[in-house]
Amino acid sequence: MAPLIGITTDCGRTALGTRRYESACAYARAVAAAGGVPVLLAQETGCIASYLELCRGFLFTGGDDPRMELFGRGLTTAPQAHPMDEGRQRFEMALLEALATHRDRPVLGICWGMQLMALMAGGILHQHLPEVLGPAAEEHRGNKPHGVVITAPASVLFAGQGELDSSVVSCHHQAVDSPGTLRIAARAPDQVIEAIDDPQRRFYAGVQWHPERREDGPLNLGVISAFVAAAAGR
């Protein structure tokens, strides 16, 4: 049986101001193309135990910028940030905390999802990449293609996939400065951290780029396929 993959959702509003759950179709389509069954998760903390019983893997999707104060440690949100819905952030923080006691469940974080994994592991962010890279930060915006330099070739993200020479697309103005207790698995040519993982867990990894937005190459659908295969026990 194909594994059920829980996919986190965003929180938007209708024209009348009513809150609603949202998700880019590309996430579910990529999971389905990789052989998984996508399940969009409502942001209900009380349902987390049931989600853990139901789903064999969890995909943390992209989104707006984190509210840094929720992590404690004296962190503050930068004035350039576009803070995400607080309810979404609290739910995903609680889900990641729960997954810490279910280490057999594969986890893949994309963009904000990777940043959350780093923050929950004690890491910190560059909250406004132009302050670090200057005008070159635009290379990480607008789905512009760029290369990736693998620094941990044995990572579950890349192992067994053969040739990894393919480009990726990104859209972010924040980036991981330090991944805390996690390992750096890849960087962009400009040294921005592009992938992180925990080699002590079966599959616990994040990528800064958006693999669901391209179907070509091992760094795109290949990453999601590796994640779904892990959820399937392969």
Q: Give me the active site residues, please.
A: 111, 210, 212
Q: Name the token pair of 51.
A: 């989600």
Q: Are 60 and 109 in contact (CB under 8 A)?
A: yes
The distance in angstroms from the start CA to the end CA of the chain is 12
Dump the DSSP string for the chain: -PPEEEEE-EEEE-TT--EEEE--HHHHHHHHHTT-EEEEEP--GGGHHHHHHH-SEEEE---SB--GGGG-TT----TT--BPPHHHHHHHHHHHHHHTT-TTS-EEEETHHHHHHHHHTT-EEES-THHHHGGGGGGGSTTEEE--EES-TTSTTTTT-------EEE--S-EEEE-TTSEEEEE-TT--EEEEE-TTSSSEEEESS-GGG--SSTTTHHHHHHHHHHHTT-
